[in-house]
Amino acid sequence: ETGVTQTPRHLVMGMTNKKSLKCEQHLGHNAMYWYKQSAKKPLELMFVYNFKEQTENNSVPSRFSPECPNSSHLFLHLHTLQPEDSALYLCASSQGNGETQYFGPGTRLLVL
């Protein structure tokens, strides 16, 4: 599990705050992903980066802004979130797009 790390593990923020989630992979992979996980629902793919280029954006609201400065790091910038955005946010990486994904432990986000 230490192949993909995420910080912070827990985050509480108000609707007017700005915060960022960080993900780092130590596996030498070329693709990175952000997912949203809500209870009893399938994982929702938010963004995909392949070789630092965004290749998927699944109609995610603009209050979520991803950044991928290099193949090892992925950020999710958050601003003016809504309570319904409270969830577990998971980062994953894979060698190539569509190959086996390896996940970080997630950031548990609570929006008040």
Q: How far, in Å, CA of 8 to CA of 10, rounded? A: 5
Cβ proximity to other proteins: between 6 and 81 the closer is 6
At closest approach, how far in Å is the CB of 68 from other proteins? 16
| Complex with other proteins: residue 18 or 99, whichever CB lies closer | 99
Cα–Cα distance measured from residue 112 to residue 35, given in angstroms and rounded to the nearest whole number: 21
Q: In whole angstroms, how close is the CB of 4 to other proteins at the nearest point?
A: 7
Output 78 or 90, the one with its CB closest to other proteins.
90
Residues of this chain that bind other proteins (CB under 8 A):
1, 4, 6, 40-43, 45, 48, 56, 90, 92, 97-98, 100-106
Closest approach of Cβ 106 to other proteins, in Å? 5
* Cis bond upstream, residue 8 (ω within 30): yes
Please give the sequence-ordered ranges of beta strands (E in DSSP) within the chain, or none if there are none.
Answer: 4-7, 10-13, 18-25, 31-37, 44-50, 53-57, 64-70, 73-79, 87-94, 102-103, 107-111
